Amino acid sequence: MKKGKILKLFAVIFLSVMLIILGCAGGKKLARPFSGEPESGLTFSYSLNPGIPYHYALQTDIVQNLEMQGRSMQTNIFSAVGFTTRGKEKSNNDLIIEIKIDSIYSLIKGMAGSQELDLYPLMKKPFELVLSPNGKELEFRGNDSLQVDVGPMAGGVIGVERFFQQVFPDIPENSIKIGQTWTENAVDTTKQGGMDVVSDLEMEHTFKGVDIMNGMECLIITTSAEGTLDGHGEQMGNSIAMEGNIELESTCYFAYKKGIFIKSESKSFIEGTLAVTGGMSMTLPMTMETESSVQLD
């Protein structure tokens, strides 16, 4: 297979893996979204805050390296998204949040050159996200038309959900107090570009303390995680098998009296292999480093 086709193939795979890595005026008055105290035990959740706009900045920087015949092939992708959230209503106990992308920029750099993605069609109208009180993204609504085809080299069809699958940090369902640590197992399957990629993470969370950020009292929660990545599928007529190990560190600042997150920062590292069979056969070592942040403006 020609070098250009190989580069396109790995660019598509790279953007598929990126989704894995890729660790809130007026209206009816609602009950406060917390009870207890940080020192003795605190239960808290996301609040609807109906109609109030919150403006966030999302930034992601990813570096992937593939080794082929002793040569490193590096791909970089940088994304910056400005967006506004507004609480609309409750559905059972879940929150319906309206999201509008205000600005968006994405640049891919690789051996084939640089490409700035035209993602402006994703900005044309708001869409809705159904969010659990503990921050789990349950459903996207009104996003069917918010898609753009950026071509096979950049990952094919991109929708708004690509940028918002892991924006809202998860928070604990049970009462916690300063210094407490708790664990969870997180298994997630992502379907993208003809591949099914499963991540399996053992996560340890720690309630580090309280600090003032953006003039609000925020809980500081850190997360450390280790796990595995396993993917199978087809890309450009070739069978692809991917496996690797993941390490992740993140910090979240949550304004519990308002029921909104203020900031989250995360770093992750993947080390593994890509096995390709079909028109060509090869097994390539792979690493991927990701840094991302979301912050209330």
CB-based contacts of 257, cutoff 8 Å, min separation 6: 32, 33, 34, 216, 217
Is 281 part of a structural domain of the chain? yes
CA distance 108 to 23: 22
Is 30 part of a structural domain of the chain? yes
Is 23 part of a structural domain of the chain? yes
Give the per-residue pLDDT at 65.
94
Is 151 part of a structural domain of the chain? yes
Query: How long, in residues, is the chain?
Result: 297
Is 170 part of a structural domain of the chain? yes
Q: How far is CA 141 from CA 83, 127, 149, in A?
A: 16, 6, 20
**What distance, in Å, lies between the first and last C-alpha atoms of the chain?**
47
Number of alpha helices (DSSP H) and beta strands (DSSP E) in the chain = 2, 16
Cβ burial of 85 (10 Å; 0-12, 13-18, 19+) is buried
DSSP 176: B
DSSP 13: H
CA distance 121 to 152: 18
Q: How far is CA 18 from CA 95, 140, 289, in A?
A: 27, 19, 10
Structure tokens at 89: 């209503």
Give the per-residue pLDDT at 155.
62
Structure tokens at 226: 């280790």
Is 297 part of a structural domain of the chain? no
Decide: helix, strand or coil at residue 241.
Answer: strand
The answer to whether the CB of 66 falls within 8 A of the CB of 285 is: yes
Let me know the angle formed at the C-alpha of 20 by 131 and 106, rounded to the nearest 5 degrees.
Answer: 90
Beta strands 94-110 and 71-91 are antiparallel
HSE-CB for 276 with a 13 A CA cutoff = 18
Q: Could you read off the pLDDT tens digit of each residue along the chain, which spans 297 residues? A: 444 444 454 544 444 444 444 433 333 344 579 999 999 999 999 999 999 999 999 999 999 999 987 788 999 999 999 999 999 999 999 999 999 999 999 999 988 889 898 899 899 899 999 999 999 999 999 998 898 887 665 666 788 888 898 899 999 999 999 999 999 998 887 766 567 889 999 999 999 999 999 999 999 999 999 999 998 887 777 788 989 999 999 999 999 999 999 999 999 999 999 888 887 788 999 999 999 999 999
Domains: count for the chain: 1
Give the per-residue pLDDT at 20.
44
3 phi and psi, to 5 degrees? -55, -40
Is 17 part of a structural domain of the chain? yes
Is 26 part of a structural domain of the chain? yes
Kindly report the CATH number assigned to the domain that includes residue 140.
Answer: 2.30.230
Structure tokens at 160: 């708004």
Give the domain extent around 97: 3-292
Give the per-residue pLDDT at 81.
96
Give the per-residue pLDDT at 194.
62
294 phi and psi, to 5 degrees? -130, 130
